[in-house]
A and B are shown apart, each in its own frame.
Chain A
Amino acid sequence: MADGSNGSSPIVVVRDVHKSFGDVHALAGVSLEIERGTVLGLLGPNGAGKTTLVRVLTTLLDPDEGSATVAGYDVRRERTRVRPLIGLAGQSAAVDDTLTGRENLEMVANLYHMGRATAAARAGELLARFDLVEAAERQARTYSGGMRRRLDLAASLVADPEVLFLDEPTTGLDPQARLELWAVIRELVATGTTVLLTTQYLEEADQLADEIVVIDHGRIIAQGTASELKARSGGEHLTVRVSDLAALEEVRQVLEAEGDGPPTVDDATGTVSVAVSNGPARLAGVVRRLDEAEVSIADIGLRQPTLDEVFLSLTGHRAESEPADAPTGAG
């Protein structure tokens, strides 16, 4: 594919992009780069500016200030060059309810000017790949939420895009459908597609992204790999799960002595955890003391903090309401 950049430079470059809607600064100076073949997770709560950035990068919205390029092409001045190279799925895009799954994909293929035979073949291929063959001749309005998202994703892949934008791809899906969609996205990534994924689910960014950018109120507040971000929120946690709930208090005392702060006790799961520095040495110490006290334990281990804890330490407020909430509006 001939494009305006060489192979080793970032495929998406965003430089100081600003976008306001009235008094609301949806993007207040965002800069980022995405390397070819990687997944960038854009993580933030509702209204953080995620969708606005996706809309700028997919040529749907002009930035007020700053610039952005995809494969070397400016998203404002060279949108006809950008569009054949990108795919968009998620809350910003849609499938046509009155068309069947196959018709939806054929229409998109035709609008990429593929030629009738190629379009039909491509539609068939994608229906098979996204497990929609049986539903192919049914109107999309009869599809379940998970099927719609798969069809939406398939539509965004019709032209084999170099950069795929997934705008909250699993928002509103049940856990099973979410896991299925994650598997599909992982397969895509394995074939080398560059992906920008927005999500308000911390676990989702952790699961899918190579690099995570945390965005809040239109600004980037942190950036790094999942483990780098986790390290920024105070190291490891040592967690012990007891096999007998009666031993919970004894374990708590041990962890209080060995840990760096007050332990947290979860009665429901029978676990006690505490933040530790120099985790492995402390782990050995805790095991020894529990052994001496003859406490029987079901599990013991060191774990990294969750991204939710990271967000809390970065912003001072929680990242999201419960994932069960179906988010609406621009993110």
Chain B
Amino acid sequence: MVVSMDALRAEARHAPGDILQLWKRNMLAYRRQPELMVFSTIQPVMFVLLFAFVFGGAIPTGPVEYIDFLLPGILAQSVLFGSTQTGVGLAVDVTSGMIDRYRTLPMARSAVVAGRILADTTRNVFVVGLMLGVGFLIGFRYHGTVAGAIAMPFVAVLFGQTFCWISAAIGTSVRRAETAQVASFVWLFPLVFVSSVFVPVETMPDWLEVVAENSPVTQTVNAMRGLALGTDFWEPLVKALAWMAGIMAVFVPLAVWRYRSIQ
């Protein structure tokens, strides 16, 4: 792969517009594929309702109402599961030949992946909003500051965006959409469940608690809880942001490199 100054200049000039084009394309695809909308909306809402009403009574969360404990966690879980769609979408584009079309066009190289992630992040904003609405209907309340209330869903969206890059690296490395899906869930499930998403980590066996306590998911969820409940949030927030920065530092270049070496 040869990178010239010419190419870099063209990249910088065209990237914003080209990313927007790909964003638009992906948003249209979401709107027109009902199965994707179902995956994006009904599933997260169902999770909120099932956990709140089925598990809620059985999981002790101290003085905090379970729905208040649950909602930040389940927001993080939803954006994480949602991030798998980045890889699936890219794998579909590779299989269908769309990527080849894009790569013969004089467009910014980053646009296909970045446009995809921008669309998936837009969807995450929508999903997070929807789940907050459903949460409010079944009793979720903020207990902290207004700034915390605004920051909490923002952290969730940022977290989802981070994992979209991991998913993008997977989607551009495998050959099939189904493989991308499996290759994502196989590590996402343990990552989500071995964390403070659904239960306090203190209830886990010691060795597992250590793992859970240091997971990016736990740190992010704890930061979101702190922001929503008005409790301490700075320490987990800093750790969560450090995790996100670390993941991005590895997976943004990896995804871009994988995309460029598709042949």
Contacts and interface: CB of A to CB of B under 8 A. Distances in A.
A32 B192 CA distance: 56
Contacts of A92: 97, 100
A155 B135 CA distance: 46
A83 interface: yes
Given A84-B106, A93-B101, A111 B32 contact: no
A265 interface: no
Given A83-B106, A110-B21, A112-B105, A97 B96 contact: yes
B100 A107 contact: no
A83 B32 contact: no
A99 interface: yes
A96 B101 CA distance: 10
Contact of A108 (B10, B33, B97, B105): B105
Contacts of B106: 80, 83-84, 111-113
Interface residues of B, number: 29
Contacts of B103: 59-60
A130 B7 CA distance: 33
A183 interface: no
Contacts of A94: 96-98, 100-101
A99 B6 CA distance: 32
B211 interface: no
Contact of A93 (B21, B97, B111, B263): B97
Interface string A35-69: 00000000000000000000100111110000000
B151 interface: no
B77 to A, nearest CB: 27
A62 B98 CA distance: 19
Contacts of B14: 113
B33 A98 contact: yes
Contacts of B49: none
Interface stretch (A71-79, A208-216, A248-256): A71-79
A86 interface: yes
A87 B106 CA distance: 11
Contact of A88 (B17, B25, B28, B104): B104
Nearest to A158: B105
Contacts of A91: 97
Interface string A180-220: 00000000000000000000000000000000000000000
Given A98-B33, A103-B28, A111-B107, A93 B17 contact: no
A99 B25 contact: yes
A62 B103 CA distance: 13
Interface in B1-56: 1-2, 4, 6-7, 10, 14, 17-18, 21, 24-25, 28-29, 32-33
A98 B102 CA distance: 16
B257 to A, nearest CB: 14
A62 B21 CA distance: 27
A58 to B, nearest CB: 5
Interface in A79-138: 79-81, 83-84, 86-88, 91-99, 103, 107-108, 110-113
A200 to B, nearest CB: 18
Contacts of A110: 17, 21
A86 B263 CA distance: 18
Contacts of B97: 91-94
B4 A86 contact: no
Contacts of A55: 100, 263
A139 interface: yes
B101 A80 contact: no
Nearest to B14: A113
Nearest to A76: B2
Contacts of B96: 94, 97
B114 to A, nearest CB: 14
A301 B10 CA distance: 60
A110 B16 CA distance: 12
Which of A79, A81, A155 has the largest count of B CB atoms less than 10 A from its CB?
A79
A108 B22 CA distance: 10
A113 B101 contact: no
Contact of A107 (B21, B33, B104): B21
Interface in A229-265: none
Nearest to A139: B32
A78 B6 contact: yes
Given A81-B6, A91-B97, A58 B33 contact: no
Contact of B104 (A76, A93, A99, A139): A93
A173 to B, nearest CB: 16
Given A84-B106, A98-B28, A113-B106, A77 B2 contact: yes
13 contacts: A60-B104, A78-B4, A79-B7, A83-B104, A83-B106, A87-B104, A91-B97, A94-B97, A97-B96, A99-B28, A107-B24, A111-B18, A113-B17
Interface of B: 1-2, 4, 6-7, 10, 14, 17-18, 21, 24-25, 28-29, 32-33, 96-98, 100-107, 111, 263
Closest 3 CB pairs of A and B: A94-B97, A98-B29, A83-B106
